[in-house]
Amino acid sequence: MELIINGEVIRVPEHVQTVDGLLAHFQLNHKIAIVELNGNIIQKQEYQATALCNGDRVEIVHFVGGG
Amino acid sequence: MSERYSRQELFAPIGKEGQAKISAKHVLIIGAGALGTGNAEALVRAGVGKLTIVDRDYVEWSNLQRQQLYSEDDAQKRLPKAVAAKQRLDRVNSEVVIEAIVSDANVEELENIVQKTKPDIIIDATDNFETRMIINDVACKYRIPWIYGACVGSYGISYAFLPGKTPCFNCLLETVPIGGLTCDTAGIISPAVQMVVAYQVAEALKLLVEDEQSLRGKLVSFDLWSNQHSAIRVDQVKKEDCPSCGTNATYPYLSYEMQTKTAVLCGRNSVQIRPAMKKEYDLQQLADLFANQGLPIEINPYLVSVAIGEQRLVVFRDGRALIHGTKDIQEAKTIYHRYLG
């Protein structure tokens, strides 16, 4: 399916179905991130249960510690 | 001298009135690395009244690529970063009172500094999540705005936290992440630093001139190499039951139990570092990360050992670490946070 991730149209593989899967696809599943789906922030405990649909707008910001 | 801030005063949202406010304010910067030196230089040039900068480390050659206040001379002399920063900042703007504190920004030290110097804002320029959680609790407890900034590789992130108004760092993270990439494991390019500094200083100036309504209010991140940018309004993440900023806040990261424990191991020229919370490291992943930098490693099912110059860092699966080759707790902590985040 195609998603609009951080403002860019990105095609993700078929097996990516949920927010959890999307984070794993981008290797962000071991990091702490804030995920916004169509304007709403998804709670961390909801990542697995939140399904993605073609055309969804996703914003992802992950935290880093360097400085 | 009156010319000095003329271009900043010409900028309408600041003006002469804003400049007067800036010159009456005190900013505390935690960390004098890449973000710390960038923020410090910008704020000192902008004419902040007083600036306090805290750092436990000394200047090394590998800092010079991005830590803008330091010179080869500082690295040669291994000057403490806070001291070298003050020397340079005094020459940049002698009107600003600059206080350099060579110290580890632990709970006791931070609470002391905040109680004594009453900063108007705190700028985060640290290199680890644990210290940020401490800054967050101190900021919540004493109701001081603080500006998060962090970067690694070509990626950066920033947000201005206002106690009582925005969610806090603990609301957003809920837990301290383990084993993240650091500038010493994944590298860092200076434009990523400068971009974060720009976001932090812009928000700091808005706060200093008391123009809160102009604050961005969004968690912002970017990647300058893969050309991405994202910003999320995080107001709705504020939690009423947050232990750091909620109605019954207990400031957990200020308690003894939540602090990293250190001990010098007598007769072994080693320091032990035990994180407050047990972690679960993937030792192979950690070993690969070290090996990628060409560091000599040894691994067995219980620990990873890596040689870093004269020292050796040994990490156990639960996050406990031994730093051999030093009796200096500050030095050991520096190595720990550099390689483990």
Q: Is the pLDDT of residue B18 over 80?
A: yes
Segment B207-256, tens digit of pLDDT: 999 999 999 999 999 999 999 999 999 999 999 999 999 999 999 999 98
**Percent share of chain B, pLDDT over 90:** 77
Q: What is the mean pLDDT of residues B173-200?
A: 89
The answer to whether the CB atoms of A61 and B220 lie below 8 A apart is yes
Verify whether the Cβ–Cβ distance A67 to B33 is below 8 Å. yes
Residue A31: closest CA among chain B residues belongs to which residue? B177
pLDDT of B175 = 85
Domain hosting A50: range is 2-62
> How far is it, in rounded angstroms, from Cα B39 to Cα B198?
8
Question: Quick one: pLDDT at residue B279?
Answer: 77
B152-165 tens-digit pLDDT = 999 999 999 999 99
pLDDT tens readout for residues B260-275:
888 887 777 889 898 8
Pick the closest to residue B124 from B88, B151, B152 (CA basis). Answer: B151
Burial class from Cβ neighbours inside 10 Å (0-12, 13-18, 19+) for residue B236 reads exposed
B177/A61 Cβ within 8 A: no
Check which CATH number belongs to the domain holding A11 and give it: 3.10.20.30
| Confidence at B185, pLDDT banded by 50, 70, 90 | confident
Burial environment of residue B166 by CB neighbours within 10 A (0 to 12, 13 to 18, 19 or more): buried
**Position of tokens 């967050």?**
B136
| Per-residue pLDDT reduced to its tens digit, A2-59 | 999 999 999 999 999 999 999 999 999 888 999 999 999 999 999 999 999 999 999 9
pLDDT, average across residues B125-144? 95
- Is some CB atom of chain B closer than 8 A to the CB atom of A66? yes
Q: What letter represents residue A29's amino acid?
A: N
Mean pLDDT calculated for residue range B278-286: 86
How confident is residue B179, by pLDDT bands cut at 50, 70 and 90? Answer: low
Question: Which residues of chain B make contact with A41, given a CB cutoff of 8 A?
Answer: 232, 234, 236-237
When CB atoms are compared, the residue of B31, B186, B220 closest to A67 is B31
Domains by residue range for chain B, with CATH? 6-254 (3.40.50.720), 260-340 (3.30.310)
pLDDT digits (tens, 9 = 90+) for B77-110: 989 999 999 999 999 999 999 999 998 888 999 9
Mean pLDDT of B276-300: 88
A67 part of a folded domain: no
Q: How high is the ipTM of this complex?
A: 0.93
E strand residue ranges, chain B? 26-30, 50-55, 97-102, 121-124, 146-152, 155-161, 218-223, 228-233, 261-265, 270-274, 297-299, 303-308, 311-316, 321-324
Q: Given CB atoms, is A4 within the 8 Å cutoff of chain B?
A: no
Which residues of chain A make contact with B194, given a CB cutoff of 8 A?
none
The yes-or-no verdict on residue B180 having pLDDT over 80 is no
Query: Does the pLDDT of residue B1 top 70, yes or no?
Result: no
Q: What is the pLDDT of residue A19?
A: 97
Partner-chain contact A61 B221, CB within 8 Å: yes
Structure-block tokens of residue B170: 């603990």
pLDDT at residue B274 in the model: 87
Asked whether the predicted pLDDT for residue B127 surpasses 60, the reply is: yes
State chain B's mean pLDDT as an integer. 93
Kindly name the residue from B151, B171, B183, B245 that is annotated as catalytic: B183
Give the one of B157, B219, B231 whose C-beta lies nearest to A64's C-beta. Answer: B157
- Residue in chain B lying closest to A5 (CA): B230
Q: What is the pLDDT of residue B340?
A: 87
Query: Is beta strand A40-42 parallel, antiparallel or unpaired with respect to A57-62?
Result: unpaired
How high is the pLDDT of residue B276? 77
Alpha carbons B205 and B182: distance in angstroms, whole number = 28
> How many domains in chain A?
1
Q: Does residue B266 carry a catalytic annotation?
A: no
How far apart CA B319 and CA A46 sit, in angstroms, is 28
> Is the CB of residue B169 less than 8 Å from the CB of residue B128?
no
* Contact (CB<8Å) A67/B126: yes
What mean pLDDT comes out for the span B65-74? 97
A32 CB neighbours in chain B (<8 A) are 172-175, 177
